Structure formats: C-alpha cells, structure tokens
Chains A and B, each alone.
Chain A
Amino acid sequence: GESVGLHLPTLSVQEGDNSIINCAYSNSASDYFIWYKQESGKGPQFIIDIRSNMDKRQGQRVTVLLNKTVKHLSLQIAATQPGDSAVYFCAERGSSGYALNFGKGTSLLVTP
C-alpha cells in the first residue's frame, strides 16, 4: 500500500548552514508531492510542490529534488534561519487524486 516516511525525526543545524530533509515514498504511481512546514500551534503551511515529470524545482531559498528511481524526495533550505525552525512534512497525492498521504514529519531546529 501507499506510505510516506521520513529518514530522520530530528535535524539540528546552525544558522546560516544549508538544511536537507529527506523523505521516502513507496507508491511508484504517485504523481504529485508537497512539502509543508508546521510551526507549533499552527496548521501546515505550503512550501513547495513538484510533479513527477520533474526532477527539481526551486523556490525562494528552498529546492525540492525528486528521485523517482529510488522513490526519494528531499527538501533543501539554503542559509537556514531561526524562523525555519519547525516540523517539516512531505506528502504525496494518493491514488484518489486529491487526498494527501503525509509522513510523520522531521523536526528542524536552527541554533544560533
């Protein structure tokens, strides 16, 4: 069945460094992936998405890489800032075409 998982539950980085958050998925038919950021007490905030016909997509300070061969997704954050501290979730659009399947999240802690 479908599943989305994250390699590391927590990640600690120093301010100014680059961060990489990884995610594995199991459904090779998944065609759409999203990264969300969730701060304490708030709902998930959309960061960036990528469709399966792409390998890479860039946003402001963020890049998502998709490796369909090994079913792996990563989120790269450049020049990480304290405001980036949050839990990051990857999600795939399931076979329904609309419901998202979420991983359990990676907690990113940015230290000064």
Chain B
Amino acid sequence: GAGVSQSPSNKVTEKGKDVELRCDPISGHTALYWYRQSLGQGLEFLIYFQGNSAPDKSGLPSDRFSAERTGGSVSTLTIQRTQQEDSAVYLCASSPERGREQYFGPGTRLTVT
C-alpha cells in the first residue's frame, strides 16, 4: 500500500515568509508525528496527533510553528516568519496506534535564504 507522503519535497523561501508543509499519513493510521532533522543530526520531535485528542505540541521550538490535522488524516505544519535556523528537513511519520513503530515519509527539505 501507499506509504506516508509529504509535499513539497523541497521548499526554498525568503526569510520572513510563511510556509506550509503537508503530510498524508498511511490510511488507517491514527497517530501522526512531525520531526525536524537538521544537517548531520538526529531527528527532533515537534508535535504528535492521536485521533481526536488534543495534540502534544511540547516539541515545537517557538510560537512561529503550528500544526493541524484535519479529519484525522492530512496534517499541515506551518512556520510563520521563517528564520534561517528553520532550515532543515521536516519529516512526518504515522503509526497505527500510539506507541507502535512509526513509518516515515520522505521529508520536505526547507531552505530559508
């Protein structure tokens, strides 16, 4: 079946602009996660959605970052007033339920100039 998909695959934006990153999880997966991977680093947890429960936003680095998940499926990560330090690969993952193995999408490479 189809895996996790993300769009766009690459995004170049000017400092100060807003960006939206999209994630389509695996069909039927109730849990969705966003992570950030800076160059040569491991993944940093950003936010977690589980069903209709309130998301865990504890990993978001600043209030410029927000995310939503509509209809329990597609998720959008929004970064407002982008800064150069926001440049990274943003990865989305989904799992069939909380605590199970997470399946990752290919990521969106964000470059802020």
What is the interface of chain A, defined by CB distance below 8 A to chain B? 4, 32, 34, 36, 41-46, 49, 89, 91, 93-94, 96-105
One of A42, A89, A102, A104 near B40 (C-beta < 8 A): A104
CB neighbors of A among B21-60 (8 A): 31, 33, 35, 40-45, 48, 50, 56, 58-59
Residues 76-113 of chain B, each 1 if its beta carbon lies under 8 Å from chain A, else 0 = 00000000000000010101001101111111000000
Question: Nearest residue in A to B40 (C-beta to C-beta)?
Answer: A104
Question: Nearest residue in B to A89 (C-beta to C-beta)?
Answer: B42
B4 within 8 A of A: yes
What is the interface of chain B, defined by CB distance below 8 A to chain A? 4, 31, 33, 35, 40-45, 48, 50, 56, 58-59, 91, 93, 95, 98-99, 101-107
One of B43, B50, B99 near A102 (C-beta < 8 A): B43
Which of A45, A102, A103 has the most chain B CB atoms closer than 10 A to its own CB?
Answer: A102
Does the CB pair B41–A96 fall under 8 Å?
no
Does the CB pair A105–B42 fall under 8 Å?
yes
- Residues of chain A lying within 8 A (CB to CB) of residue B43: 44, 89, 91, 100, 102
Compute how far the CA of A91 lies from the CA of B33 in the bound complex, rounded to whole angstroms.
15
Question: Nearest residue in B to A43 (C-beta to C-beta)?
Answer: B104
- Residues of chain B lying within 8 A (CB to CB) of residue A44: 43, 91, 104
One of A4, A97, A99, A104 near B59 (C-beta < 8 A): A99
Does the CB pair B48–A34 fall under 8 Å?
no
